Structure 1
Amino acid sequence: MSRSAVRGFSATRLRRYRQARKATIEDLADAAGVSAQAVSAWETGRAAPTPELLAKVAAELRLTVADLVPIPTDQLGLSDLRVQAGLTQASAAQQLGVSATLLGRIEKGRKDYEDERADQLAELYGVTKELVTKAWELDRANMKARAKRFRDS
């Protein structure tokens, strides 16, 4: 999978929802503006769409990104919220007026929580500030757990 692979992407769900709409792979490819080979690779799990293409495909199927990326709410990190908004890290960073590197640090829990930044993220991702806060706390806890495992190994 590419660097922009989407965590939790379900190839099976994509295929099932496409078939439920009685659409062919070619129909979905044409609607999303990609090749049939790309859609086939997504449906077989050989590749995953970028967040932007995932949002486009979900819209064409009259779904949300969350329908194709089934991650329980209590397990959503900031990058998952960004993906559900159909944004790559680069495009979200640009809209926030920060570098992709800084956004990456925020998403990995390596940057301290800032109330104003949480407001910006919530607005951009179309979610509540509370959900952003919970996602950041999960990312931070995961970062600390990785650091502890490293120290203990």
Structure 2
Amino acid sequence: MSRSAVRGFSAARLRRYRQARKATIEDLADAAGVSPQAISAWENGRAAPTPELLARVASKLRITVADIVPIPDDELSLSDRRAHAGLTQSRAAESLGISATLLGRIEKGKKEYDLSRAQQLADLYGVDVDMIERSWQRDRERRKAIATRFEDS
């Protein structure tokens, strides 16, 4: 699976939403501007779409990315929120005027919380700044938990 694939992507949900719209794989592929082979691979779990392609497909199905990526809100990381907004890390970083490396460090919990940066992320991702703060803190806590595994007991 591609590094840019969306965590939590549900192939079964994509198939169910497509079928509920009475669309064939070819219909959805044509509408979203992707190949039928890509849609088929996604629905069969052989591949997963990038955030941008998933957002395009979700839009054509008149659903949100979150409908196809069933991660509870209290488990969403910053990278999940970015994916829900249909953005790859490089596109989001470009929109924010920062490097993809810096955004990656933020998403991995390696940067302290910054309200002005959080507001930029919230605006870009179309969510409340409190959601960004909770995800940011969750990412930092995950990072700390991983680090403690290497401490002597």
TM range (shorter): over 0.9
Residue aligning to 1:56: 56
Per-residue CA distance 1:77-119 (angstroms, 9 max, x = gap)? 1001100000000000000000000000000100111110001
Q: What is the distance in 2 between the residues matched to 1:51 and 1:81?
A: 10
Give the match's secondary structure for 1:150: coil
Correspondence for 1:145: 145
Name the counterpart of 1:75: 75
Measure how far apart 1:5 and its partner are: 1.1
| Structure 2 partner of 1:44 | 44
How much has 1:150 moved relative to structure 2?
2.9
TM-score when scaled to structure 2?
0.98
Where 1:17 maps in the other structure, the secondary structure is helix
Question: 1:105 matched to which residue of 2?
Answer: 105
In structure 2, distance between residues paired with 1:106 and 1:99: 11
**Deviation at residue 148 of structure 1 after TM alignment:** 1.0
Please, what is the CA RMSD of the aligned residues?
1.0
Give secondary structure in 2 for the equivalent of 1:151. coil
Alpha-carbon distance in 2 for matches of 1:3, 1:152 = 32
**In the TM superposition, what are the counterparts of 1:82-121 in structure 2 within 5 Å?**
82-121=82-121
CA distance in 2, matches of 1:40, 1:89: 25
CA distance in 2, matches of 1:42, 1:35: 11
Structure 1 residue 18 and structure 2 residue 18: aligned? yes
In the alignment, the residues of structure 2 paired with residue 37 and residue 148 of structure 1 have an alpha-carbon distance, to the nearest angstrom, of 44
Structure 1: 5+ residue runs without aligned partners?
none
Matched, 1:35 2:19: no
**Alpha-carbon distance in 1 for matches of 2:19, 2:88:** 27
- Measured in 1, the distance between the counterparts of 2:41 and 2:152 equals 40
CA deviations over 1:49-81 (Å, ceiling 9, x no partner): 110000000000000000000110000010011
Q: Aligned partners of 1:37 and 1:126: how far apart in 2?
A: 31
More deviation in 21-30 or 143-152?
Answer: 143-152
Unpaired segments ≥5 residues, structure 2: none
Q: Name 1:2's counterpart in structure 2.
A: 2
| Amino acid aligned to 1:84 | H
Q: Distance in 2 between matches of 1:102 and 1:150?
A: 25
**1:152: how far off?**
4.9
